[in-house]
């Protein structure tokens, strides 16, 4: 592992960028989730959006880099969104992207915006317009749309007709946007349907976004690609087109495993952040929202989220330590191994010391995991949160 002292790029500049980096955490990561085989409950799991936000605030408190929490509607539905937003502010948080949900009502068996039944499509559009109202009530500008829509058997429905229906529905939702607001359109290559998925890949999401307009951008969920997909290529292309709106960071070994980002393939996360740094896309002005989208089925949820934020920070720090001049020169000279070595030097650099310094400069403990354990918060909520129903994907 290369030591930080050996690095020649401007460490102070890298630290300044790292100090500004923010990662958005998902409310649903603090609730129970699982697989079709089992959803494990855990003592202290939140029972409502207020408790989810309180837990998310613990991650920000020890990392200083996670000041936003995404909501999912209706999982986070409340009577008074102003009050929820005010509560988030009291906790030092703001509410980020609003995720719609047109994948759990019985009517959506054959799809939502792609459903052959116009009444069901109208219901799905109406839900998204409601989500826009929630977005405005909590001061957010991002409506994140993931359509589970798809089919299971060849011939079940017209692939082309479903695309036309999706386009029409998205148009009706897009028409509801106000200035400064945007749609984040997510794709996923399969699940819950297994023959077609109506927005299966970045190309399909991009085609719909370009048909809609400038306020429509693509969400890249790192768990939503066929095995072997070069995700950083997609990142580079979407940045080139100015259509990368957000990431849903997680990692996987097989399918949409939603594991801790960087836990399965830290080198892939580094390669993705290398494309981000090369494009200057850490600059909030480029509008890329770095979000987590994970489920902690067996591990403690708050420490898992803290580890996730740290993994993104470490991949970003390594990407910021790439000697861009040396890389450019080697690439220009066709020095294949020389260019590769420049990247590997950065990847093989222990960046934990500079991230510790960035945290200490913010008055935080160098080790966020240790800092959280020392708060006794997990034990406190396990004792307090007795009774009621623990939040989970269904509820
Ligand atoms: C779908 C998905 C989507 C969310 C859900 C929680 O797999 O990635 O982003 O709505 O997970
Ligand atoms: Mn996702």
Write out pLDDT tens, residues 39-93: 999 999 999 999 999 999 999 999 999 999 999 999 999 999 999 999 999 999 9
Nearest to 346 by CA among 323, 312, 314, 313: 323
**What distance in angstroms lies between residue 190's CA and the mean position of ligand 2's atoms?**
12
Quick one: pLDDT band at residue 9, thresholds 50, 70, 90? confident
What pLDDT shows up at residue 3?
73
**Which of 293, 392, 394, 395 is the pocket-test mutation for ligand 1 (most atoms within 8 Å of CB)?**
293
| Run of H or E including 120 | helix 118-137
Question: Can you tell me which residue has the tokens 């989730």?
Answer: 33
Q: Is the pLDDT of residue 395 over 60?
A: no
| Run of H or E including 264 | none
CA distance 392 to 395: 5
**What distance in angstroms lies between residue 225's CA and the mean position of ligand 2's atoms?**
11
What digits encode the pLDDT tens for the residues 260-317? 999 999 999 999 999 999 999 999 999 999 999 999 999 999 999 999 999 999 999 9
Six token digits for residue 254:
């097989």
Ligand 1, atom 10, lies closest to the CA of: 146
**Which of 30, 112, 205, 248 is the pocket-test mutation for ligand 1 (most atoms within 8 Å of CB)?**
248
**Which of 71, 186, 192 is the pocket-test mutation for ligand 1 (most atoms within 8 Å of CB)?**
186
Q: Is the pLDDT of residue 233 over 80?
A: yes
CA distance 77 to 96: 15
Q: Which atom of ligand 1 is nearest to the CA of 186?
A: 9
Confirm or reject: Cβ of 221 under 6 Å from ligand 1.
yes
Choice between 35 and 95, residue whose per-residue pLDDT is larger: 95
What separation, in Å, do the N-terminal and C-terminal C-alpha atoms of the chain show?
Answer: 45
Q: Which atom of ligand 1 is nearest to the CA of 295?
A: 6
**What distance in angstroms lies between residue 102's CA and the mean position of ligand 2's atoms?**
14
151 CB neighbour count, 10 Å cutoff? 20
Confirm or reject: Cβ of 188 under 6 Å from ligand 1.
yes
Q: Which atom of ligand 1 is nearest to the CA of 256?
A: 7
CA distance 229 to 199: 16
Q: Is the pLDDT of residue 5 over 80?
A: no
What digits encode the pLDDT tens for the residues 335-378? 999 999 999 999 999 999 999 999 999 999 999 999 999 999 99
Quick one: pLDDT band at residue 394, thresholds 50, 70, 90? low
What pLDDT shows up at residue 335?
98
**What distance in angstroms lies between residue 255's CA and the mean position of ligand 1's atoms?**
13
**What is the secondary structure of 61-80 as a DSSP string?**
HHHS---EEEEETTTT--S-
Confirm or reject: Cβ of 275 under 6 Å from ligand 1.
no
Q: How far is CA 238 from CA 244, 277, 380, in A?
A: 5, 14, 44
Quick one: pLDDT band at residue 7, thresholds 50, 70, 90? confident
Confirm or reject: Cβ of 258 under 6 Å from ligand 1.
no
17 CB neighbour count, 10 Å cutoff? 16
Q: Is the pLDDT of residue 8 over 80?
A: no
Give residues with Cβ within 8 angstroms of 133, minimum separation 6.
none
**What 3-state class would DSSP assign to 382?**
helix
What pLDDT shows up at residue 139?
97
What pLDDT shows up at residue 354?
96
**What 3-state class would DSSP assign to 19?**
helix
**What distance in angstroms lies between residue 291's CA and the mean position of ligand 2's atoms?**
9
Question: Can you tell me which residue has the tokens 């000279």?
Answer: 333
Give residues with Cβ within 8 angstroms of 261, minimum separation 6.
222, 249, 250, 251, 269, 292, 294, 308, 311, 312
Choice between 203 and 395, residue whose per-residue pLDDT is larger: 203
What digits encode the pLDDT tens for the residues 152-176? 999 999 999 999 999 999 999 999 9
Confirm or reject: Cβ of 157 under 6 Å from ligand 1.
no
What digits encode the pLDDT tens for the residues 167-218? 999 999 999 999 999 999 999 999 999 999 999 999 999 999 999 999 999 9
């Amino acid at each position: 592992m290369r030591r930080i002292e050996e690095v020649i790029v401007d460490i102070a500049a890298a630290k300044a960028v790292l100090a500004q980096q923010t990662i958005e955490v998902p409310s649903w990561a603090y609730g129970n989730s699982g697989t079709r085989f089992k959803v494990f409950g855990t003592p202290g799991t939140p029972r409502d959006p207020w408790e989810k936000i309180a837990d998310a605030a613990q991650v920000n408190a020890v990392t200083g880099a996670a000041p936003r929490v995404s909501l999912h509607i209706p999982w986070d539905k409340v009577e008074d969104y102003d009050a929820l937003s005010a509560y988030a502010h009291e906790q030092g948080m703001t509410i980020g992207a609003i995720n719609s949900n047109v994948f759990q009502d019985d009517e959506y068996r054959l799809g939502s915006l792609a459903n052959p039944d116009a009444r069901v499509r109208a219901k799905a559009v109406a839900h998204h317009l409601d989500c826009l109202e929630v977005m405005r009530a909590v001061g957010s500008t991002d409506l994140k749309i993931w359509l589970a829509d798809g089919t299971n058997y060849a011939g079940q429905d017209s692939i082309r007709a479903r695309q036309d229906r999706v386009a029409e529905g998205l148009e009706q939702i897009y028409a509801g946007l106000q200035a400064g607001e945007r749609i984040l359109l997510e794709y996923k290559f399969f699940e819950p349907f297994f023959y077609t998925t109506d927005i299966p890949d970045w190309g399909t999401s991009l085609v719909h976004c370009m048909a809609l307009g400038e306020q429509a951008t693509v969400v890249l969920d790192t768990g939503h690609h066929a095995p072997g997909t070069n995700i950083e290529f997609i990142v580079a292309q979407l940045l080139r087109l100015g259509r990368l709106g957000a990431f849903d960071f997680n990692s996987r070994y097989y399918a949409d495993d939603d594991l801790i980002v960087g836990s399965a393939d830290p080198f892939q996360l580094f390669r993705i952040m290398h494309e981000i740094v090369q494009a200057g896309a850490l600059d909030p002005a480029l509008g890329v929202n770095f979000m987590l989208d994970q489920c902690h089925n067996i591990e403690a949820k708050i420490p898992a989220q803290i580890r996730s934020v740290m993994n993104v920070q470490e991949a970003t720090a390594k990407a910021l330590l790439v000697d861009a001049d040396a890389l450019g020169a080697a690439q220009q000279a066709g020095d294949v191994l020389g260019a590769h070595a420049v990247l590997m030097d950065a990847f093989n650099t222990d960046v934990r010391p500079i991230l510790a310094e960035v945290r200490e400069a913010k008055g935080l403990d160098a080790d966020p995991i240790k800092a959280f354990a020392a708060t006794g918060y997990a034990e406190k909520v396990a004792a307090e949160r007795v009774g009621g129903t623990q939040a989970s994907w269904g509820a």
